[in-house]
Structure 1
Amino acid sequence: MYLCSTLLLIASLIVESLTYTHPIPPGWTLHRRADPDTKLLVRLSLVQPNLHNLDAYLLDIADPQSPNYGQHWTPERVKETFRPSQGSADVVRSWLVSNLDAESSTIIQTDEVLSLNVSVAQAERIFTTNYNVYRANNGFERVGCHQGHNFPAHVAEHVEFVWPSLTYGGPRLTRRNSPPTVKGARGPRVVQPSAIDVKHCDDAVTLDCLRALYNFHYDLVAAKRNTVGVAEFGTQYYNPADLDMFFKRFAPDQVGNQPKLISIAGGQLNESDPNLDDFVESSLDLELMMGLLGRKQEVFLYEAGTMEQDPLSDELLGAWDAYYCSVADTSGIGRIARDSASSDCGDAPRANVVSISYTSTPDVRDSTFLPMLQRECTEIGKLALMGVTVIASSGDFGVAFPEFPDTLCLVNDKLEMQAPNSTQSADFVAAFPASCPYVTAVGSTQVSPGKSVRDPETATFAFPSGGGFSNAFVRPRFQNAAVTNYLKHFAPPYGPSVFNRSGRAYPDVSANGCVWPTVVAVAGNFNLTGGTSASAPIFASLITAVNDARIAIGKKPVGWINPALYSPWFVGSFNDVTNGTNPGCGTEGFRASPGWDPVTGLGTPNFERLLANFLLLP
């Protein structure tokens, strides 16, 4: 679930109050006015200095041509560079104090956020707005306000945005469990062990298939000094018995091996969950990553305890960065946050590589989503400054955004529901976090029927791999040559409003994720599943191995890899994919083409070449 934030900007010195209203998001309705006595956590995100320099800071340590390549920042330097000024905090706090009842409200300040526990009635009076209860299509209810928050001009210039305004939804899995042609089908497809043949990777993709496809035959040598993790949300678990079943067949030395659980917001395993589908995502991520890397490498499992957080990675950011945390909510409906004493606040280990197989928020330019998108992407950029590689799946709905069982597209600049097979053309919607330029987005490919691992892969055609152009983030300069080549020679002749030609282009790379050939063990059976959910941990495993090799020779982890991947230094490190499309929004979407394209990115990795090039860097 997501909070639709209100961006507060000063238009002129004579403005006395500012607010941005926005429509209720698709899938939600205004149910009733909120109970005035309901306790509410309101978070005021303070304006941070130096954000306009973030790209320059990152390129200084991530551009292969920079003399400072690989010189990642310490957490303390990141904190001091972007800490909001005390003057800003004092102005906002003073205004709040003058409007609060000291006996029934509390203000808590962290470095980036001022949080207050107040009643709905108090919040409505302070911010001159109305709070309502909104109901989602699935019956979930949430307190928020779509009318925005009002501030005096002298206060508004210090506030970036406010939570809560309104919510959107929950993290969407990017895994496909059933063929879209089978109405109502659920769960992965069971396959008999005798049908799993490593010689036929078009029918069943195993670890050996992936090693052959991507030339990945590497034995870790510095695993104890290296870290990697996968993120799971809500009711997404794994069963140790399933891991052992998978390892017994495909990696016998790993039987008994388990990931290290990092509980966030109460996240735990639930082996007794009767819902088979709740075990597929985590099993897919862990079996692929642990199977490819081997027993030597410990894998962190970041288990966030709810799917109802705002936004997707907010829980992870708070667990990694104490300065991003705030206070615990007491409403029973509002979002859950934490104070500095919480066991989840800043104490989770930061892995060198993190794989995320979820999408969260539509990438659109309106006040419902834009401030949140920008803030979350900025926080990911700060992690990149510290040497963390964030890898995310690009999504499984082509140029549309998932809103199960439908999709979201833009019609007259407004999000509207559309069936995945609709023929009514609409404008494209990118998916966050893949659309963030500080994330390495991974699309999906497959071995064509009747072909082998020696043949070129294609873009998946059992589902449309996510890709396109961001509406919220401009194209980074290191993408210019590759993306301009695509736009000049291969882009379809859509109208100027259909996609943002100047936006951040994604995916960056791709890996096998074809639905129903990827073999996993779930609930005591071997199953076929897939999606870009498989592609992300596959690519993350390869980058983890790159880090292993660099650490072994005294070098640092690669951190933010996107500038390097697009540089001339890495020409020849990828297998170009030139066949396939990613339809959506009533169109064919884009076509795979020579060079970078918005279906498969730069292509699939050739690990030996990728490794050799990264080892040459400082």
Structure 2
Amino acid sequence: MRSALAALVVIALGLLASADPVLSPYSLHEKRHNIPAGWSYNRKHDSSAVLPLRFALTQSNIDDIGEHLMDVSHPESPNYGNHWTAGQVLQMFSPHEDTVNAVRNWLMESGVERERIRVTPNRGWIVIDATVEEAERLLQTEYHVYSHASGTEQIGDILTGCTTACDAYHLPEHITPHVDFVTPTVHFDAKVRVNKRSDTGSEGTARTIGQPGSGSHPKTTGAITTLFNELEACDEQITPICLRALYGLVYEPLAASKNSFGIVEYTPQAYLQSDLDMFAANFSTDLVGVAPYMVSIDGEGYAQTGETGFDYNGESDLDLQYGMNLVTAKQQVTLYQTGDMVEGASFNNFLDAIDGTYCTFEGGDDPTQDGVYPDYAPGGYTGAEDCGTVKPANVISTSYAYNEADLTPFYTARQCAEYAKLGLMGVTVLYSSGDYGVAGNDGLCLEANGTQSVNGTIFNPSFPGTCPYITSVGATQVNPNSTVYEPEGACEQVIYSGGGFSNYFAMPDYQKEAVAYYLKTYPPQYPPDIWNASGTSRGLPDIAANGANYVVAIDGGFELVYGTSCASPVSGAIFTMINDARLAVGKNPIGFINPTIYSSDFAGAFNDITMGGNQGCGTAGYTAVPGWDPVTGLGTPNFPKLVAKWLLLP
């Protein structure tokens, strides 16, 4: 079992007087302005300790990735649907040889032996094991140790942070253009709520995304005493027939063998087959006994059943029960079960498995943040790390998220580019937008100094929802005392649809017209210091689907469940069926959908939501209005209209 108090490597501002001469002057490369909540200073780090120093090399042509993605994704492009192969992606974006040589030569000229310098197979990273003293000299900074308190336990890991109001590290000016960022340095890479499980020693970093209560997760009001399955009762209980009626999803797959739908779950959260069978017995008898196709990523090859309860089974049971039902028993659903019971996993571990160009043990993951495999801790996954071992499904839905402010801009930009690469390869990537309105997970809002707290007043958007290369999904509801034949409203029961404007990412071209109309016609009446009022930042969500009163079989009983966690797999199922229709007539999958759904050709293809809001941070939040809005996006899917429009595209 790991120690309940572990050290956290932290980097602090300050040039070292003892730094050796370099080939060019040093300049500030990256900094942060505060210590994240929960971290406290421990001591100066031991100068002889060894750090896994990792330099993220600047990728070639990465500034043009949005243009390349638009070229295959915009309905008016002559190359629409001509998706790239993984080899073409690697060839286009692999760091240039000049970049590799520049960083390697600088390290050698700074006293690092050539044999210690490792270039990862994807050429994306250069890695050295350096002592703290050596790292401090290379980066002209200082490393300190912090620890993190969570509840009554002390936990920690090798992470980075600060000791002063403005900590940073530095690089020579001739190296700066060749390096995105360096770890471990200033990245407290995930400040999701931390949970340490005393029986496994799982730690609270980026890989805690699957830990019970961490990040974005569904909510429940408890057990259902009477089960309804009638359209008249959809304002009280959502079942599959309600969703089919709401979105016109009456369709039988025709090309299932050519199609694929993937749902991502993070260990220790996992489904129970008995729950899937219980749900199927009531709503889809042909699915009784049917399991999703399991693809284990850095795990034991199964979905754990030792830990049960809503926090362990609620998410996975929900995602799979509705995802499998809506695509019917004819379409196999792939479950990407990610991480083992000891290390857990981060989004990067999943990306490693489906994109080999992103992955390698030495560099593709941050061993201070991401699960690192083989994991020789008791009960850990001892197999080789999954790296490019998994073919991505045509549609991938994930109902987990961080707050954007949990992560640094460099970290999010690097990961966001990976979603663009998946889009280039024809993959539709969906993420839930969060359940706390304009606030972040657990109702945390930003303070003026960049920290997060429940008393903050600045809106706190989610990530990856703010990445312009994924489709962010918000939540709606059948309004009380209304029917499925009446317009839905924004979800205001138990949860509030996550939405707002990014503090990191610029507004993508495909969104500019819709967001400009919203800001001009319905300008939010809030001071600009509590939301990004620049008019130039990425808005979210893109679309929405029902997220209230879902009937879900969990641990042998039915419960009512709420969340954008519901909306993402439902939307994924609908887009999977649209892919089926296209594949059946010999066309390609829809891939990255945002340029298409925001285009004038698709006007009216979503059910516009004009009621409700997404309160948070001590405000009423934004309001759902005609057209796009930062509560429900463009609206909810209208399957008959969408499939007809997509069938007309090349």
In 2, Cα distance between equivalents of 1:282 and 1:308:
19
- Kindly indicate whether the alpha-carbon contact (under 8 Å) linking 2:35 and 2:451 is maintained by their aligned counterparts in 1: no
Q: Offset of 1:121 from its aligned partner?
A: 4.6
Q: Does 1:387 align with 2:426?
A: yes
Residues 395-544 of structure 1: matches in 2 within 5 Å? 395-402=434-441, 404=442, 406-409=443-446, 411-412=447-448, 414-419=450-455, 426-462=457-493, 463-500=495-532, 501-514=535-548, 517-544=549-576
Give the structure 2 partner of residue 126 of structure 1. Answer: 138
Q: Does 1:15 align with 2:51?
A: no
Higher mean C-alpha deviation, range 165-174 or range 466-475: 165-174
Give the structure 1 partner of residue 83 of structure 2. Answer: 72
Q: Offset of 1:104 from its aligned partner?
A: 10
SS in structure 2 at match of 1:441: strand
Q: Does 1:115 align with 2:127?
A: yes
In 1, Cα distance between equivalents of 2:9 and 2:498:
24
Q: Offset of 1:537 from its aligned partner?
A: 0.4
Give the structure 1 partner of residue 590 of structure 2. Answer: 558
SS in structure 1 at match of 2:219: coil
Q: Offset of 1:14 from its aligned partner?
A: 6.1
Q: Does 1:153 align with 2:170?
A: no
In the alignment, structure 2 segments of 5+ residues that lack a partner are 1-7, 13-22, 162-166, 192-207, 375-382
SS in structure 1 at match of 2:320: helix
Residues 191-202 of structure 1: matches in 2 within 5 Å? 191-195=224-228, 197-202=230-235
- Kindly indicate whether the alpha-carbon contact (under 8 Å) linking 1:174 and 1:396 is maintained by their aligned counterparts in 2: yes
- Kindly indicate whether the alpha-carbon contact (under 8 Å) linking 1:175 and 1:530 is maintained by their aligned counterparts in 2: no
Q: Does 1:297 align with 2:331?
A: yes
In 2, Cα distance between equivalents of 1:68 and 1:205:
40
CA separation of 1:304 and 1:129: change in aligned 2, threshold 3 A? farther
SS in structure 2 at match of 1:521: strand
Query: What's the TM-score once normalised by structure 1's chain length?
Result: 0.89
Count of residue correspondences: 588
Q: Offset of 1:598 from its aligned partner?
A: 0.8
In 2, Cα distance between equivalents of 1:580 and 1:3:
45
Give the structure 1 partner of residue 293 of structure 2. Answer: 260
In 2, Cα distance between equivalents of 1:361 and 1:349:
28
In 2, Cα distance between equivalents of 1:583 and 1:255:
40
Question: Cα deviations across residues 231-258 of structure 1 (Å, max 9, x unaligned)?
Answer: 1123111111111111111110011111
- Kindly indicate whether the alpha-carbon contact (under 8 Å) linking 1:506 and 1:598 is maintained by their aligned counterparts in 2: yes
One of 315, 318, 323 as aligned partner of 2:349: 315
CA separation of 1:617 and 1:117: change in aligned 2, threshold 3 A? same
SS in structure 2 at match of 1:371: helix
Q: Which amino acid is 1:43 matched to?
A: R
In 2, Cα distance between equivalents of 1:548 and 1:331:
37
Give the structure 2 partner of residue 203 of structure 1. Answer: 236
Q: Offset of 1:305 from its aligned partner?
A: 1.0
In 2, Cα distance between equivalents of 1:84 and 1:328:
16
Question: Cα deviations across residues 413-469 of structure 1 (Å, max 9, x unaligned)?
Answer: 5233125xxxx7x22221110111111111100011111111111101122210111
One of 90, 96, 103 as aligned partner of 1:92: 103
In 1, Cα distance between equivalents of 2:147 and 2:410:
23
In 1, Cα distance between equivalents of 2:344 and 2:417:
16
CA separation of 1:245 and 1:119: change in aligned 2, threshold 3 A? farther
Q: Offset of 1:360 from its aligned partner?
A: 1.8
One of 143, 146, 152 as aligned partner of 2:158: 143
Q: Which amino acid is 1:591 matched to?
A: T
- Kindly indicate whether the alpha-carbon contact (under 8 Å) linking 1:108 and 1:326 is maintained by their aligned counterparts in 2: no
SS in structure 2 at match of 1:154: coil
Give the structure 2 partner of residue 251 of structure 1. Answer: 284
In 2, Cα distance between equivalents of 1:361 and 1:130:
28
Q: Which amino acid is 2:540 matched to?
A: Y
Give the structure 1 partner of residue 393 of structure 2. Answer: 351
Q: Which amino acid is 1:136 matched to?
A: H
SS in structure 1 at match of 2:311: helix
SS in structure 1 at match of 2:422: helix
In 2, Cα distance between equivalents of 1:308 and 1:33:
29
Q: Which amino acid is 2:444 matched to?
A: T
One of 611, 615, 623 as aligned partner of 1:583: 615
Backbone CA RMSD of aligned residues: 2.8
Give the structure 1 partner of residue 5 of structure 2. Answer: none
In 2, Cα distance between equivalents of 1:485 and 1:519:
37
In 2, Cα distance between equivalents of 1:307 and 1:133:
27
SS in structure 2 at match of 1:144: coil
* Percentage of matched positions with identical amino acids: 38
CA separation of 1:497 and 1:94: change in aligned 2, threshold 3 A? same
Q: Offset of 1:122 from its aligned partner?
A: 4.1
In 2, Cα distance between equivalents of 1:454 and 1:520:
23
Higher mean C-alpha deviation, range 206-215 or range 22-31: 22-31
Q: Offset of 1:102 from its aligned partner?
A: 5.0
Give the structure 1 partner of residue 273 of structure 2. Answer: 240
- Kindly indicate whether the alpha-carbon contact (under 8 Å) linking 1:391 and 1:536 is maintained by their aligned counterparts in 2: yes
Q: Offset of 1:497 from its aligned partner?
A: 2.9
Q: Does 1:190 align with 2:232?
A: no
Q: Offset of 1:220 from its aligned partner?
A: 0.4
In the alignment, structure 1 segments of 5+ residues that lack a partner are 7-12, 179-187
Give the structure 1 partner of residue 201 of structure 2. Answer: none
Give the structure 2 partner of residue 185 of structure 1. Answer: none
CA separation of 1:445 and 1:555: change in aligned 2, threshold 3 A? same
SS in structure 2 at match of 1:349: coil
Higher mean C-alpha deviation, range 599-608 or range 37-46: 37-46
In 2, Cα distance between equivalents of 1:140 and 1:375:
27
- Kindly indicate whether the alpha-carbon contact (under 8 Å) linking 1:215 and 1:607 is maintained by their aligned counterparts in 2: yes
In 2, Cα distance between equivalents of 1:152 and 1:310:
36
CA separation of 1:327 and 1:36: change in aligned 2, threshold 3 A? farther
SS in structure 2 at match of 1:536: helix
Give the structure 2 partner of residue 284 of structure 1. Answer: 318
Give the structure 2 partner of residue 183 of structure 1. Answer: none
One of 239, 244, 256 as aligned partner of 1:223: 256
Query: What's the TM-score once normalised by structure 2's chain length?
Result: 0.85
